[in-house]
Structure 1
Amino acid sequence: MSSIELKAVEKWYGEVQVIKGVDLEINEGEFVIFVGPSGCGKSTLLRMIAGLEETSRGQIIIADRDATAEPPSKRGLAMVFQSYALYPHMSVRDNVGFPLKSAGLPAAEIKTKVDHAASVLKLDAYMDRRPKDLSGGQRQRVAIGRSIVRDPTAFLFDEPLSNLDAALRVEMRYEIAKLHQSLKSTMIYVTHDQVEAMTLADRIVVLEGGNIAQVGTPRELYERPANLFVAQFIGSPRMNILDAGHVAGLTFPGEAKKIGIRPEHISLVPSGEGHIDGTVDVLEYLGADTFIVMDCGAAGQATLRLIGDTDLKPGAAKGMKFDLGCTHFFDAAGQAIEAR
């Protein structure tokens, strides 16, 4: 079994607690992504699983055994870092095979494992090159290949795409998704980029201040956020949050203080005919879509999404009508509440 379980895991640095009692089960073969803003504890939690950070309290169970006190080398995990950490004087073949050579495996077995990793990652044509002769995406694939040859219990990825440009990030997202489909291995992946999380994960763990804010599939988090933090972190552009007292013609729970609505769930209507009126502030034309930022006065600011282009100009007054089946409500503490 390559499942991983965290039981009431805590991390303290002196008097400062950065991981605050995390409970989480990661199933065999699952692709789980830790996501959240800088400083939320996602990389620390990953390093605790890897054994690179000591666990102050709680247990880390790997493949049905208590690995809390085990050193990294005994945990059977492979970690891919943000930096490629390749040996510049070695060929791709030697970089990929280095962990096996260090372990003293026979040359024939090393060649078989390295050739398999090269085939999976489409590195066959680059095996005799050195890292300086590769693109950023190719270097990252070499770093992943070095992990594959070890046949680990699980793969741990710590923001592996953050050093790549936008085009390479898209390409490598595809490569990692295909890798997971091919290997069917347990993978835990850390990123601050919610687009990576939404496109890659089986389940997403949203972290806030060392706590788990919510765990769920990308669809669950997008459609049913548990609180304001998740509602505004997941989704791009983020969910609009408006003051409930300034939204007319909408039935909502009495304890609701905020109303949430995503940009694609708002349509423009003549002033006075929607749930709230606003003035066009900024238009962002993106080709297939146009995002319109509306000034809604005391209620706040709202962004809506239109397909294609629009003739609207800044300063135009319009009404906004909400898709009532996609409206969210939050109480004074920011927790989601059900409409009644």
Structure 2
Amino acid sequence: MGSIELKGVEKWFGSAQVIKGVDLKIEEGEFVVFVGPSGCGKSTLLRMIGGLEDISRGALLINDGDVTDHPPSKRGLTMVFQSYALYPHLTVGENMGFSLKVAGVPKAEIQEQVAKAADVLKLEPFLERRPKDLSGGQRQRVAIGRSIVRDPTAFLFDEPLSNLDAALRVEMRYEIAKLHQNLKRTMIYVTHDQVEAMTLADRIVVLEYGKIAQVGAPRELYERPANLFVAQFIGSPKMNILPCTTRDGAYHLDNGGSGGFPLTSEATKVGIRPEHIEIADPGAGQSDGTIEVVEYLGADSFLIVDCGSDERVTVRLNGDTDLRSGARIGMVFPPDKTHFFDADGQSMTE
């Protein structure tokens, strides 16, 4: 069992409220990622679940039991931090089994648990090494192994890959995804990295200033964002947002674009993702613009297009495009890929 439920959870530091009434149910075996900008409260919320921060108001339930006032040791959870926090004078095996040793677990059982964890994480060749003899990715695997041996109800990860370089982050994402498949345990993962969120999560919880902006599967958040915040936070490059008005049963871009397809609701913003924009001749689409910069990334090229009125649109094309800076182009916004938002920033797209 490993279900976790937050009921009206709040966190106050003096007169400052940083978590503002969070309700969330995490099912057994689910991989849930908390994501959001710096200061949104994602790490604080994780620490509240782990018992490292008190819950000011509300309740925390684990396997339907109220553990709001329980200390961390009584919650059956384990945390993996961005800092490996390994003992430099102990071997890998000793580091992984240290918590069991402190708890008085028999030596034979410790060795058995360490061997199992080492097998899952492919650490068998390194059990007699010291942390200084390991790479960053191997050290992080040791930190994860230290958590596995405790056989926790759920794993809590607080930006565990932020100290690794780009190549190691890719490797460790794969390791964590495989770990979840093998262990089938509940995992809650905090990150500011969208790629980690999109590739690892069963569900993503997008936090904005201490509140949940939207919860859903990665595809749901990408294709049907509930508001402007989620629309621009999920996706890289982010969704293009342009001001618009609605009149005569259609929307019209404030930069003079034609809009051109029916819309009866009062939208104030139109959104389109970079890869959904189609290139056309000037005057043939919803907006015209001049290419300012072409960013070549190999498989993809990004066009940064000046649409006037200080508005720029990013267009994602195949890397072999022959378009160059200074070219004048038209841009078509396919109706089924276009998003509309009202004056409050809420999605109007069905």
TM-score (norm 1): 0.98
Deviation at 1:301, TM superposition (A): 1.2
After TM superposition, list the pairs within 5 Å mapping 1:116-155 onto structure 2: 116-155=116-155
Counterparts of 1:61 and 1:269 in 2: how far apart (Å)?
A: 55
Distance 1:256 1:299, change over 3 A: farther
Corresponding position of 1:216: 216
For the Cα contact (< 8 Å) 1:228–1:336, is it kept in 2? yes
Corresponding position of 1:195: 195
Aligned with 1:274 (options 275, 280, 285): 285
Counterpart amino acid of 1:277?
D
For the Cα contact (< 8 Å) 1:291–1:303, is it kept in 2? yes
Corresponding position of 1:182: 182
**Residue 309 of structure 2 aligns to a residue in which SS?**
helix
Corresponding position of 2:275: 264
Structure 1 residues 230-239 or 330-339, which shifts more?
Answer: 330-339
For the Cα contact (< 8 Å) 1:243–1:300, is it kept in 2? no
For the Cα contact (< 8 Å) 1:250–1:275, is it kept in 2? no
Counterparts of 1:262 and 1:17 in 2: how far apart (Å)?
A: 34
Corresponding position of 2:294: 283
For the Cα contact (< 8 Å) 1:283–1:314, is it kept in 2? yes
Deviation at 1:298, TM superposition (A): 2.6
After TM superposition, list the pairs within 5 Å mapping 1:55-70 onto structure 2: 55-70=55-70
Counterparts of 1:300 and 1:293 in 2: how far apart (Å)?
A: 10
Counterpart amino acid of 1:141?
R
Distance 1:117 1:189, change over 3 A: same
Aligned with 1:337 (options 342, 345, 348): 348
Counterparts of 2:35 and 2:70 in 1: how far apart (Å)?
A: 26
Q: 2:241 matched to 1:241?
A: yes
Counterparts of 2:261 and 2:188 in 1: how far apart (Å)?
A: 41
For the aligned residues, what is the CA RMSD?
0.9
Counterparts of 2:307 and 2:346 in 1: how far apart (Å)?
A: 23
**Residue 336 of structure 1 aligns to a residue in which SS?**
coil
After TM superposition, list the pairs within 5 Å mapping 1:161-176 onto structure 2: 161-176=161-176
Corresponding position of 1:84: 84
Counterparts of 1:338 and 1:149 in 2: how far apart (Å)?
A: 47
**Residue 5 of structure 2 aligns to a residue in which SS?**
strand
Counterparts of 1:262 and 1:299 in 2: how far apart (Å)?
A: 19
Deviation at 1:80, TM superposition (A): 0.1
Q: 2:103 matched to 1:100?
A: no
Corresponding position of 1:44: 44
Q: Deviations over 1:56-107 (max 9, x none)?
A: 0000001111000000010000100010000000000000000110110111
Counterpart amino acid of 1:130?
R
Matched residue pairs, number? Answer: 339
Deviation at 1:322, TM superposition (A): 1.4
Deviation at 1:250, TM superposition (A): 2.9
Counterparts of 1:252 and 1:220 in 2: how far apart (Å)?
A: 23
**Residue 284 of structure 2 aligns to a residue in which SS?**
coil
Counterpart amino acid of 1:106?
P
Counterparts of 2:333 and 2:310 in 1: how far apart (Å)?
A: 15
Corresponding position of 2:308: 297
Q: 2:316 matched to 1:312?
A: no
For the Cα contact (< 8 Å) 1:252–1:329, is it kept in 2? no
For the Cα contact (< 8 Å) 1:137–1:164, is it kept in 2? yes
Counterpart amino acid of 1:332?
A
Q: Deviations over 1:257-309 (max 9, x none)?
A: 10000011001110000111011011110111101011111382111111122
Corresponding position of 1:157: 157
Counterpart amino acid of 2:263?
F
**Residue 333 of structure 1 aligns to a residue in which SS?**
coil
**Residue 197 of structure 1 aligns to a residue in which SS?**
helix
Counterpart amino acid of 2:22?
V
Counterpart amino acid of 1:269?
A
Structure 1 residues 316-325 or 215-224, which shifts more?
Answer: 316-325
Structure 1 residues 207-216 or 319-328, which shifts more?
Answer: 319-328
Counterparts of 1:338 and 1:259 in 2: how far apart (Å)?
A: 10
Gaps of 5+ in 2: 245-251
Q: Deviations over 1:206-243 (max 9, x none)?
A: 00000000000000000000000000000011100011
Counterparts of 2:262 and 2:159 in 1: how far apart (Å)?
A: 43
Counterparts of 1:242 and 1:214 in 2: how far apart (Å)?
A: 22
Counterparts of 2:87 and 2:81 in 1: how far apart (Å)?
A: 14
Distance 1:86 1:107, change over 3 A: same
Corresponding position of 2:27: 27
**Residue 32 of structure 2 aligns to a residue in which SS?**
strand
Counterpart amino acid of 1:274?
G
Counterpart amino acid of 1:105?
V
**Residue 23 of structure 1 aligns to a residue in which SS?**
strand
Q: Between the two proteins, what is the percent identity of the paired residues?
A: 72
